[in-house]
Structure 1
Amino acid sequence: MTEQHEKVDIGQWTSSSQIERDLELTNADFTRIRELIYQRAGIVLAEHKREMVYSRLAKRLRHHGLTRFSDYLSRLERQPDAKEWEAFTNALTTNLTAFFREAHHFPLLADHLKNKQEPVSVWCSAASTGEEPYSIAMTLLETLGSRASQAKVVATDIDTDALDKARKGIYPQEQVRKLEDARIKRFFQKGTGNHLGLARVRPEVTSLVEFMPMNLLAPQWPVKGPFDVIFCRNIMIYFDKETQAKILKRFAPLLKPDGLLFAGHSENFSYISDVFKLRGQTVYNLANR
C-alpha cells in the first residue's frame, strides 16, 4: 500500500452504468465492505468511495459467477483464511506513486546517510508498484558510491498485485522521462522491439531492494530493524487516528536512535503520537533521542 495511486493494473472494469444494470450494491453491502476492509487492513473507506468499491469488486463477483454482493461477502466471512481475501484487499487498495515524488525528501535522505560507515538499511513501508523504493535505492547509489553494495532497502506493501509489478521493475518510458537525463542513463534500460515504450530499472538498483507482502495491522511484522530511515508516506491518511498511533508506536523500536521517519505531504504525526517529534518538512526524529 503504499503511496497511493488509482489502480490501473487490476483489469478492465465494466462501466458504472453497466454494473448498475446487473448488480446491486445495497447500503447494507457497502457497510459490510467498509467494516471488513477496516478489520483486515485498517483502511477507512469514506462514503464517496462507493462507486470505486462498486466497480472494483464487481469483477470479483463475476469471476466467481455471483450476482449479489451479499453472497460474495458471506463467502469471505465464512472462510477467514481464503485466498480471495488477498484479491478483496488488493481491489480496495489505492496507490498513487512516482519516481522521486515529494522530491525534497531525497536530498535529506542523502545528507543523513552520506557519512554512515556501517551498512545502511531503509524500510519503505508502503512500496506500492516500486517507484518509491527504487528512488531510495538510486539515492543510496548516488550517495554511498561503492558502499551502496552493502546497503539494503526493505520494501513492503499489503497489495500483492502492486508488489508483483514492483519486482518486475518495468515502467512506461513516459513515467521515466520526467527524471533527469543523468539518472535515466544510469539507472534505466530502454526497451526495444516488443518492449518499445518501456523502461526497466537496472540490476544495480533492483539488487538493493527486497520486496515482501506485509499488513501494517498484522500482529507480527516480517521486517527486522533497526533501520536508519523509515519511509511511511501517504498511507496513514487511510487509517483512523487510533490505528495511526499504534503503528507509530511500533515504528519506534525499529528505528535507530538517530534515525529519520519520512511522512507524506498531507500527514502530520505531531498531533497523533508523542513518540516522534517534527524535525523538518514532514520529517521526524524519535522524541526521546
Structure 2
Amino acid sequence: MIQITEDEFRLITDFIKEHSGIHLRDEKKAMLVGRLGSIVRDHNLNSFMSYYQLLKHDSEGKELSRLIDKITTNHTYFMREPEHFSFLTQEVLPYMNRTIKDKDLRVWCAAASSGEEPYTLAILLADYFKNLAVSWDKKLLATDLSLSVLEEAKKGIYTKEKLSALPKIWVLNYFDKINDQQYQVKESLKNEVIYRRFNLLEPQFPFKKKFHIIFCRNVMIYFDHKTKAELINKLYDALEPGGYLFIGHSESISRETTKFKYIKPAVYRKV
C-alpha cells in the first residue's frame, strides 16, 4: 500500500475542503489512504503527491467527483426522516397553496444523491397537487456535487427492496416494473425533476428566482463551523420570505446567530 506523508495529507485535505467544504481531521488519515488507494493504483501513480497534481489539473471535475464519492457515504432512501414529509404535506404545501399567487412553486433538493429524496418530494408534490396540476408549475431542482450519483438518479432504477417504504399505490402510480426485483421511475415523474451538478461552496448561488422550499439534509455534518455558517446564510438568501428549510435531524442551526426562525426539529423558516 502506498503511504501518505504529512504534507501530502495536508495538501489533499485542504483541496477537499476548498472544493467541497468537507473537513477531514487528522484521525481520518487512515480512512483517506484506504479509500483513495484504489484510485491511485487505477491511475498507475506512485505517490499521493502525483494524485494531488492530478486533482489540481482536473478541469472537468471528474476526479473531484470520484474523490467525494470515496470519502462520503451516499446513504439515502425513500421517505428518509418521514416526519419532514408529514409536515411538508400537512402544513407547508397547504400554506404555499394559499399564498403563492402566480402558482409557481420552486423547490430545491440540494443534496440529491442517488435520487431517492428528490423523487420522494416529486411524488408528494404530484399527489398533493394532482387535482390542480394544470394551473401549477412545480418542477423540482435536484443538485449534487457527485457526477456518478446524479447519473444514477437520472436513470431512476431502484430495487423492490428500496421501494418497500413507499405505499403500494405510489409504486403503482409512479414506477414501471422492469422485472421481479427492479422498478424505474415513470417518465412523467422524471420530467418533474431537473438534475444539475452544483457545488454548495459557490460564493454566490446563480439562481434567478428564490425558492419556497429547500431540502439540504445531512450535508453540513461534513463541514466545519465557518463553512456551515456560510452555507446557512446562502440558503437563507436563496429562500423566499416565508420559505422553509429542512436539514438533517443530526444537524442543527444556532438560534442565537441565525436569521432563520426555528419551527421544529430540523425545520426552519425565513421570516
TM-based fold match above 0.5: yes
What stretches of structure 2 of length at least 5 have no aligned partner?
A: none
Q: Give how far 1:223 is off.
A: 3.2
Match of 2:245 in 1: 261
Cα distance in 1, alignment partners of residues 213 and 207 from structure 2: 13
Match of 2:182 in 1: 198
Match of 1:13 in 2: none
Change (3 A) 1:191 1:279: same
Q: Give how far 1:153 is off.
A: 0.7
Match of 2:149 in 1: 162
Cα distance in 2, alignment partners of residues 93 and 180 from structure 1: 30
Deviates more, 1:229-238 or 1:56-65: 56-65
State the percentage of identical aligned residues.
36
Residues 172-205 of structure 1, C-alpha deviation per residue, up to 9 Å, x if partnerless?
Answer: 211112322222212222212xxx4211111222
RMSD between aligned residues: 2.0
Deviates more, 1:27-36 or 1:138-147: 27-36
Cα distance in 2, alignment partners of residues 272 and 62 from structure 1: 48
2:47 matched to 1:68? yes
Q: Would the aligned equivalents of 1:214 and 1:221 in 2 still touch at CA under 8 Å? A: no
Q: Would the aligned equivalents of 1:163 and 1:213 in 2 still touch at CA under 8 Å? A: yes
Cα distance in 2, alignment partners of residues 222 and 162 from structure 1: 22
Change (3 A) 1:57 1:257: same
2:258 matched to 1:279? no
Change (3 A) 1:233 1:188: same
Cα distance in 2, alignment partners of residues 171 and 128 from structure 1: 13
Residues 70-99 of structure 1, C-alpha deviation per residue, up to 9 Å, x if partnerless?
Answer: 22113333x263543343334333321111
Change (3 A) 1:51 1:171: farther
Cα distance in 2, alignment partners of residues 25 and 205 from structure 1: 46
Aligned with 1:284: secondary structure? Answer: strand
Change (3 A) 1:147 1:55: farther
Q: Give how far 1:48 is off.
A: 4.3
Query: Which of these residues, 117, 134, 137, is aligned with residue 119 of structure 2?
Result: 134
Residues 23-78 of structure 1, C-alpha deviation per residue, up to 9 Å, x if partnerless?
Answer: 2233433232211101111101234433442233222212221121122113333x
Q: Would the aligned equivalents of 2:79 and 2:165 in 1 still touch at CA under 8 Å? A: no
Query: Which of these residues, 90, 102, 105, is aligned with residue 120 of structure 1?
Result: 105
Q: Would the aligned equivalents of 2:123 and 2:174 in 1 still touch at CA under 8 Å? A: yes
Deviates more, 1:208-217 or 1:47-56: 47-56
Match of 1:208 in 2: 192
Query: Which of these residues, 234, 241, 259, is aligned with residue 250 of structure 1?
Result: 234
Q: Give how far 1:265 is off.
A: 0.4
Change (3 A) 1:52 1:204: farther
2:126 matched to 1:144? no
Q: Give how far 1:272 is off.
A: 7.3
One-letter amino acid of the structure 2 residue matched with residue 256 of structure 1: E
What stretches of structure 1 of length at least 5 have no aligned partner?
A: 1-19
2:8 matched to 1:29? yes
Cα distance in 2, alignment partners of residues 185 and 47 from structure 1: 48
Residues 93-144 of structure 1, C-alpha deviation per residue, up to 9 Å, x if partnerless?
Answer: 3321111100011121123113345121111111111110110001001111
Please list every run of at least 4 consecutive aligned residues from structure 1 whose deviation after the TM superposition is greater than 4 angstroms.
Answer: none
Aligned residues: 262
One-letter amino acid of the structure 2 residue matched with residue 113 of structure 1: L
Change (3 A) 1:273 1:216: farther
Aligned ranges 1:208-247 → 2 under 5 Å = 208-247=192-231
2:170 matched to 1:183? yes
One-letter amino acid of the structure 2 residue matched with residue 106 of structure 1: F
State the TM-score, normalizing by the size of structure 1: 0.83
Match of 1:9 in 2: none
Deviates more, 1:98-107 or 1:212-221: 212-221
Q: Would the aligned equivalents of 1:129 and 1:162 in 2 still touch at CA under 8 Å? A: yes
State the TM-score, normalizing by the size of structure 2: 0.88
Query: Which of these residues, 72, 81, 86, is aligned with residue 59 of structure 2?
Result: 81
